[in-house]
Structure 1
Amino acid sequence: MGGGGFSMEPDNPLLDAYVVAQARKKNPAVCFFPHATDDATRYALNFFKAFSRLDARPAFLSLFTPPTADLESYLLEQDVIYVGGGNTRNMLALWREWGLDKILQKAYAEGVVLAGISAGANCWFEECSTDSVPGKLSVLACLGILKGSFCPHYDGEAERRPTLHQFHLTGQMKAGYAADDGAAGHFIDDVFSGGVSSRPWAKVYGLRLEDGSVVEEVLPTRFLGV
């Protein structure tokens, strides 16, 4: 998700309900990762409030008081892993220290649904556009579960689009995707299968460099409302 979900749209559950619906069974176990923020308790509480209203069994993973020493077994028992927003750089450093980068790769291979907003969307790609360092946008290497690059908040933050175009023009960033607030890309077996949105105008985009120019393509994005 470029933006949206319970943390940005608490009264609009369309994207979160869509995530839950992708699980392989009814009433799925959904584990929330609040690791990108320094206010994890509040973030997790808001997650529980939102997902308790959906057909889901919410839980969250604290790395200060982990539920078990065997995090791999714990996470492979989940049906959905949902990653919150915040500082992508700090989150990835924490994951690598705990070995979550490798566990998440295994979870994906075994069919666990991986989802998230902003930093929680950035993390799945080879690289992303991030504001992890205050005052500027920069390119950051991520997990590489999905090929290419990603940029969130494409219509929600004024500097996102021009900076992303510049990253592509200067060869700093690979071809990839961007998503407006309220829009999400859905990938199945590493392949983009379409976009969905909680706002009628929100879109997902494909970006690539072609003959020295940035090509920005609006990708098919289905509004989840009526």
Structure 2
Amino acid sequence: MMFTMIQRVETFELPSDSVISDTLKPHVNDNFRVLTSPGGALYCDPNTGEAVYPKILTTGAGNAIHIPFIFAKLIAMTGKERPNVVYIGTPFFDREGRYENGTVSFRKIGCRIKRLMVAEDDTTPSSEEMRRIMVDWSDLIMISGGNSLFAMLRWQSIGLDLLIKEAAVRGKVLCGGSAGCGCYFDSMQTDSLKPEACKLSEKVLTELCAEERLNWSFVRITCLGFINAFCIPHIDTVGTNNIARVDTAKKMLLEAHMKLEADRDSRPIFGFGVDEKAAIIYEGGKIKIFSAGQRATGVGDATCHILFVNNLNEVMCIPITPNTGESLTMDELIDRAMRSVMALQSPLDLIVDDRVSNACHRRGCSAAIDFMTLIEDPATIEQSLRNELPEPSSIEFMTLGEKKKSLSFNKSKPQDPPVHVLPLKETHFLHDNVAPAPPPPQSISVIQVIPPIIESSVIHEDDMSLPPPPDLSPYHHSKMRSQSVDSFVDMLQTMREIPG
């Protein structure tokens, strides 16, 4: 398949090697997507109906590509021992030093490398030559870090954005870090407007006072659109303006959410944060997350994070457990992150101890907060509740004031042997201002129902797969629950209604 090259009449160039903000700021809201539906298939074969997705490996920081653990995975994706590499250094204005550093690992294993220099008109090849290098010759295309907004404008003006898409359709592997990470997403957070984000950065920094160096803001720009999310590279770092990238990303996400709130048909915007030493492998429309070291903060392993706005207009940032080998679509990652938050707000917290949390880690959930089940089989809890709780007519409920509580079950129905369970933890309130659940009706002693429910709920450390109750949507809470015995019983009674 061949794409028709769109010739742009005017190419984009900076007026000088040191002017950035005045030239780039008006283009923050430009649309650089090459896909009409961001995150969708690049191409569908009309004969077979097979969908073609890009093959991408990116890292939060550009130099993380060369970590041996990550670099080995990148080479394996090409299916060749020494792939042909095209290096695109547009975000760094084709600086020589950046090229040497960016290709060092490829040169060590004997790869042939072609450097595509398009930052300026006098070094830009013809459209035909660019296509020959990108689509016909390459096995792998690497995009450097640097000024993302400048690169997007430049690629669009010369048609290189379309060649990147065509190369992806042909099965070429795309990679990069920092700017070379966010450019593949629907949109990204960038520091492209900072004073030193120019070709003569060292000279600019010597001419500016400390206050002038801090006088810039992160911006959100659209990108190629291969992955449908708002990307935040270096999410575990602080910008040169002394502002944490994650804090600015949350504000950007909330602002975008508020603008879309009135449009019920629009898809919510979700963030995808990438730590500096985290890697993403995107193949077949699915994502794998890998960690190659600690976060820049020094706390925990590097990973990726899902950001979303909950029903209280709070921006949540949920980590994804790396190195599990699990492949999930972006929608599946988002759904898991949102259910993780619901799990924290669930009374199930009452019966979770360290053994369950460790089991969740082994299953590859999003840290300890992403436990979604305490049962091996989704039908197990429902069946066990049915076995232990017959129809109300066969139970003798004692009054609340009686000290001696007993339940009379149908003798014809076999009973499961008692099961030892984890001890109840001390109650913890997640929200200090949440009112406790109302007391149950006096006609039924709910307290008496607790023992058989708990005994029948077998906890398996090695399998956590039960989805949350269907009525607990992150966007539609029926009511806020407190961590009380009453709310715990309410939740278990709701779970009985899950179809088998």
In structure 1, the residue matched to 2:221 is: 140
Are the counterparts in 1 of residues 193 and 217 from structure 2 also a CA contact under 8 Å? yes
The unaligned stretches of length 5 or more in structure 1 are none
- Name the amino acid aligned to 1:167: M
In structure 1, the residue matched to 2:251 is: 166
In structure 2, the residue matched to 1:186 is: 281
Are the counterparts in 2 of residues 130 and 139 from structure 1 also a CA contact under 8 Å? yes
1:166: how far off? 1.1
Matches of residues 72-221 of structure 1 in structure 2 within 5 Å?
72-76=131-135, 77-134=137-194, 135-157=216-238, 158-171=243-256, 174-192=269-287, 194-200=288-294, 201-211=301-311, 212-221=313-322
TM (norm. structure 2) is 0.41
Matches of residues 17-96 of structure 1 in structure 2 within 5 Å?
17-38=72-93, 40-54=95-109, 56-63=111-118, 64-66=122-124, 69-70=127-128, 71-76=130-135, 77-96=137-156
Are the counterparts in 2 of residues 3 and 152 from structure 1 also a CA contact under 8 Å? yes
Deviations along 1:125-161, one digit per CA (max 9) or x if unpaired, are 1110111112111110111122111011111225201
SS at structure 2 position matched to 1:170 = helix
Are the counterparts in 2 of residues 152 and 181 from structure 1 also a CA contact under 8 Å? yes
1:52: how far off? 1.1
- Name the amino acid aligned to 1:18: K
How many Å separate the matches in 2 of 1:105 and 1:214?
A: 32
CA distance 1:101–1:69, change in 2 (3 Å): closer
Larger radius of gyration: 2
How many Å separate the matches in 2 of 1:197 and 1:56?
A: 25
How many Å separate the matches in 2 of 1:78 and 1:38?
A: 21
Deviations along 1:158-208, one digit per CA (max 9) or x if unpaired, are 52011111111222692131111111211113322x111221411111122
How many Å separate the matches in 1 of 2:146 and 2:229?
A: 21
- Name the amino acid aligned to 1:91: A
Are the counterparts in 1 of residues 62 and 144 from structure 2 also a CA contact under 8 Å? no
1:55: how far off? 5.8
Are the counterparts in 2 of residues 2 and 121 from structure 1 also a CA contact under 8 Å? yes
The unaligned stretches of length 5 or more in structure 2 are 1-58, 195-215, 258-267, 295-300, 325-500
- Name the amino acid aligned to 2:283: I
CA distance 1:32–1:197, change in 2 (3 Å): farther
TM (norm. structure 1) is 0.87
How many Å separate the matches in 1 of 2:285 and 2:69?
A: 23
RMSD: 2.3
1:66: how far off? 4.5
Are the counterparts in 2 of residues 151 and 179 from structure 1 also a CA contact under 8 Å? yes
**Structure with more contact order per residue of length (Cα contacts < 8 Å, sep ≥ 6):** 1
Are the counterparts in 2 of residues 4 and 15 from structure 1 also a CA contact under 8 Å? no
How many Å separate the matches in 1 of 2:317 and 2:278?
A: 16
Are the counterparts in 2 of residues 147 and 190 from structure 1 also a CA contact under 8 Å? no
How many Å separate the matches in 2 of 1:66 and 1:140?
A: 24
How many Å separate the matches in 1 of 2:105 and 2:126?
A: 25
Kindly indicate which of the two structures has a greater share of residues assigned to strand: 1
CA distance 1:111–1:102, change in 2 (3 Å): same
1:17: how far off? 3.1
SS at structure 1 position matched to 2:104 = helix
CA distance 1:51–1:25, change in 2 (3 Å): closer
Runs of 4+ in 1 over 6 A off after TM superposition: none
Are the counterparts in 2 of residues 24 and 79 from structure 1 also a CA contact under 8 Å? no
SS at structure 2 position matched to 1:171 = helix
SS at structure 2 position matched to 1:22 = helix
1:68: how far off? 5.7
SS at structure 1 position matched to 2:164 = helix
CA distance 1:56–1:198, change in 2 (3 Å): farther
How many Å separate the matches in 2 of 1:67 and 1:49?
A: 24
The count of corresponding residues between Structure 1 and Structure 2 is 220
